[in-house]
Amino acid sequence: MAPARYDAVADFYVSGFDSVGDPGTRALLGLLGPVAGLRVLDVACGHGRVTRELARRGAQVTGIDISGNLIGKARKTEQDERLGIRYLHADIAAPGVLGQGGFDAAVCNFGLSDIDDLDAAITEISSALPYRGHFTWSILHPCFTGGKDISGSWPAGGSYYDERHWTAQGRPRPVLTGASRAWAPSRCPSQV
């Protein structure tokens, strides 16, 4: 697999983001609810910060991330603190990467905005969940400009008010119209 854009900043994430005590993560875990005994997928799991917390709360957890460096750090931590977590170094947008219905719930903490093919990712996540399965996520507000080695919500030549989808490399992609097939009424998590 080709290097991912987060490979270069893996150490930054490990050193600066290892607690789950921040308000966004606490809210995410609260919305997800009790996970003991559930099979939970952590999408864009990074170095496993939320993944480990889910395992400590009794979930059987699989973390998936496109960054080999971040997954490597998560696997190293799993060797030191065995929680039974399975980590996949894979692209969540790749068709069939998860299989059908293998999870009771999915979670993604601030990662959706960094997935280039969001439709394919949501389709894959939806396929991995049962009917009325839960997908709980958090996203960053698009007002943040980023910083050194951290991608912002828009490229340097753009602004908060530009109505386009931007990738972390700064190239616009077309605005998607219509509903994603993953969120057809029979699969829509909001109908839970």
pLDDT digits (tens, 9 = 90+) for 97-144: 998 879 999 999 988 888 889 999 999 999 999 988 889 998 876 665
pLDDT value for 23:
81
Residue located via tokens 């099979």:
39
> If you ran DSSP here, which 8-state letter would residue 175 be given?
P
Structure tokens at 187: 């699969």
pLDDT value for 174:
40
| Cα dihedral 183, 65, 159, 140 in deg (nearest 10) | 70
pTM confidence score? 0.75
* Chain-centre distance for alpha carbon 54: 14
Any residues with CB less than 8 A from the CB of 43 and at least 6 apart, and which? 64, 92, 106, 107, 108, 111, 112, 121, 125, 137
Q: Which helix (H) or strand (E) holds 137?
A: strand 134-138
Q: What tens digit of pLDDT does each residue of 32-91 get?
A: 999 999 999 999 999 999 999 999 999 999 999 999 999 999 999 999 999 999 999 999
Q: Which helix (H) or strand (E) holds 29?
A: helix 23-32
Q: Confidence class of residue 155 from pLDDT cuts 50, 70 and 90?
A: low
pLDDT value for 148:
57
Using CA atoms, how far residue 80 sits from 73, 74, 101, in Å, is: 11, 10, 30
pLDDT value for 164:
55
Position 160 pLDDT exceeds 90? no
